[in-house]
Amino acid sequence: MSEVFCNHMEKQSILRAPRMEKHLSFNGVPEKPSTKHKTMEKHLSFHGVDEKPSSTRGVMEKHPSLQCPPENQASSSGLMEKQKSFRGLMEKQKSFRVVMERQLSFIGIGEKRRNKESPGKRGDLQLHLTARAGNLSRIKEILQSCDENDLKQLLVKQNTEGETPLYAASENGHAMVVQEMLKRMDCEAASIPAKNGYDPLHVAAKQGHLEVLKELLCKFPNLAMTTDFSCSTALHTAAAQGHVDVVNLLLETNSNLIQITRNNGKTVLHSAARMGHLEIVKSLLNKDPSTGFRTDKKGQTALHMAVKGQNVEIVLELIKPDPAVLSLEDNKGNTALHIAIKKGRIQNVRCLLSVEGININATNKAGESPLDIAEKLGTPELVSLLKEAGATNSKDNRRPPNAAKQLKQTVSDIKHEVQSQLQQTHQTGVKVQQIAKKLKKLHISGLNNAINSATVVAVLIATVAFAAIFTVPGQYVEESEVGASRGQAHIGDKGPFIVFFIFDSLALFISLAVVVVQTSVGKETAGLCD
């Protein structure tokens, strides 16, 4: 019986071998994410396998009679060692299962992160996503499935960043996708800018996508003249990024782009010189050497910008067309040498000093020479370099005042004085007008008083005259007589009374006339006073 059981255990160990091979095959599972769940199920199936040896061992311990006889002790001990090794392998499988579960949870977190950072968060349509991915066949399917009106509206749709599908394709350099879209777009739709101020041409120039630019300019050459919020063209953008091929393409398309300045007055040459792009500086100067004399709103040339950097070759390239550019001053009177010393660019200073004809003792509007600035900054190497070249301090290099500057100052003083005199004259005129108004009011007030007084007198005279006419002095005729009627005054036919009557009537009518005239005059003066 014991021999039978031992044989049975050997068969079980043989049967477990294929299972062990299956376990070993799990080493390749991480390379196949699609089979992870099945793998986990297989791992779970080993729980039963792991528990069976322990139950078998319990049975063997409970039934000693089932143990192998002494002659089979060696084979039985070997079998038990195999079972122990099998249990160790199962524990490794358990640890492997834990690692797999952690990997699955990590993958799930990564997918969530990708979902949060997906382009759809920017409000992209399917066309935006496809254009950004550069899937040309899918782009054609989407465009062909729309009618003409819907297609126009679809191509100009913007996401939350203001980007159109054409912008997305241009930004990522998908020239064939751009070409396919341009077949169905006009210039207005192709130049819609995003919220950052860049249109498809600008963003392609910034990224240096030459083929995309060729497609855009071939279809709509006028796109080269579009500007962003700072009045920068695509040429400015490409020059600042150092894309030589893009700069040459844009200059071939329209050479006038080199004349366009940004809001701060800087040309393309300013940007290229400041960023240290030598080949672009050469291309721009070959196209228009005079652009080296263009100044920005601070009065600085491209040479002023170049000496702030560390590229000596660009400095020499800018001086080469005309060394007179060395004497140009900015709004503060600084030459390129002043700027180079302020920035501490020793190599650039050495380069400038090597140019024949440079004025090493030029003073700015603050009265500082290059040597004064070097000493002020405390740079011994620059001080010694300037002194070796013969530079002096401004106090040792007194020069007669510039006649043009004196004339300008005199004109400015005269202008200021004239403006002051005009202002004083205006203030005096205002005061005179105020006094005239007060005098006029006083005159009108006095006239009104005189009119009122004369009117009162005239009314009194008229009243007395009127009363005198009807109040005749002397007696009246009480009874009718020859030559006189009853009630007639005895003095009525006397000469003196007739004279009195005539003058009294004149006084009455004259007084009434005066009252009428004075009343009308009073109304007119009241109107003038108002």
| Cβ within 8 Å of residue 176, ≥6 positions away | 134, 136
| Closest among 287, 298, 307, 296 to 333, alpha carbons compared | 298
- Token pair belonging to 487: 């009630």
Q: Are residues 441 and 382 in the same domain?
A: no
pLDDT at 478: 67
One domain, residues 165 and 197: yes
Per-residue pLDDT at 396: 74
Among 399, 424, 458, the domain boundary falls at: 399
Is residue 149 domain-shared with residue 169, that is, in the same domain? yes
The predicted structure's pLDDT at residue 167: 95
Residues 451 and 465 in one domain: yes
Task: State whether residue 227 is helix, strand or coil.
Answer: strand
- pLDDT (average), residues 488-494: 68
What is the rounded radius of gyration, in angstroms, for the C-alpha atoms of the chain?
56
Tell me what pLDDT residue 487 has.
64
Q: Classify residue 331: in a domain, yes or no.
A: yes
For residue 42, tell me if it sits in a domain: no
Same domain, 168 and 287: no
Residue 445 is predicted with a pLDDT of: 84
Please check whether residues 275 and 379 belong to one and the same domain.
Answer: yes
What type of residue is 7? N
Task: Tell whether the model's pLDDT for residue 455 goes beyond 80.
Answer: yes
**Predicted confidence (pLDDT) at residue 6 exceeds the cutoff of 90:** no
User: Rounded to 5 degrees, what angle do the CA atoms 373, 378, 380 make?
Assistant: 100
Q: DSSP labels for 56-106?
A: HHHHHHH-GGGSPPGGGHHHHHHHHHHHHHHHHHHHHHHHHHHHHHHHHHH
Q: What digits encode the pLDDT tens for the residues 378-429?
A: 889 999 999 999 888 888 765 555 677 778 878 888 988 898 888 889 889 8
- Candidate from 19-23, 236-240, 275-279, 458-462 with smallest mean pLDDT: 19-23
Closest CA to 267 of 279, 278, 256, 252: 256
Q: Are residues 126 and 222 in the same domain?
A: yes
pLDDT mean over 180-203: 94
507 within a domain of the structure (yes/no): yes
In this model, does residue 97 exceed pLDDT 50? yes
The total domain count for the chain is 3
Round to whole Å and give the CA distance between 42 and 424: 104
What pTM value is reported for the model?
Answer: 0.54
Q: Residue 31: inside a domain, yes or no?
A: no
Between CA 221 and CA 211 the distance in angstroms is 14
Q: What is the CATH number of the domain that holds 315?
A: 1.25.40.20
Are residues 187 and 278 both part of a single domain? no
Residue 242 lies in a domain: no
Which residue segment(s) compose the domain that 161 sits in? Answer: 120-229
- What is residue 502's predicted lDDT score, i.e. its pLDDT? 84
Instruction: Tell me how far apart the alpha carbons of residues 165 and 129 are, in angstroms, rounded to a whole number.
Output: 8
Q: Are residues 302 and 423 in the same domain?
A: no
Last residue of one domain, picked from the residues 339, 372, 399 = 399
Phi, psi of 162 (to 5 degrees): 80, 15
Mean pLDDT of the chain: 79
If you average pLDDT over residues 105-132, what whole number do you get?
A: 64
Q: What is the pLDDT of residues 61-75, one digit of tens each?
A: 444 443 444 444 444
Same domain, 393 and 359: yes
Residue 233 φ/ψ, nearest 5 degrees:
-85, 175
Q: What is the pLDDT of residue 482?
A: 64
Q: How confident is the model at residue 44 (pLDDT cuts 50, 70, 90)?
A: very low
| Domain-located, residue 78 | no
494 vs 16, residue with greater confidence: 494
The per-residue pLDDT for 105 is: 55
Contact 238, 207 (CB under 8 A): no
372 and 439 part of one domain: no
> Is the pLDDT assigned to residue 183 strictly greater than 50?
yes
Residue 298's nearest CA partner among 377, 393, 372, 365 is: 365
Residue that terminates a domain, selected from 357, 373, 399: 399
Dihedral pair phi/psi, residue 159, rounded to 5° = -85, -170
pLDDT at 37 over 60: no
Tokens 């376990």 belong to residue: 23
Bridge partners (DSSP) listed for residue 481: 484
**Among 154-168, 201-215, 247-261, 464-478, where is mean pLDDT lowest?**
464-478
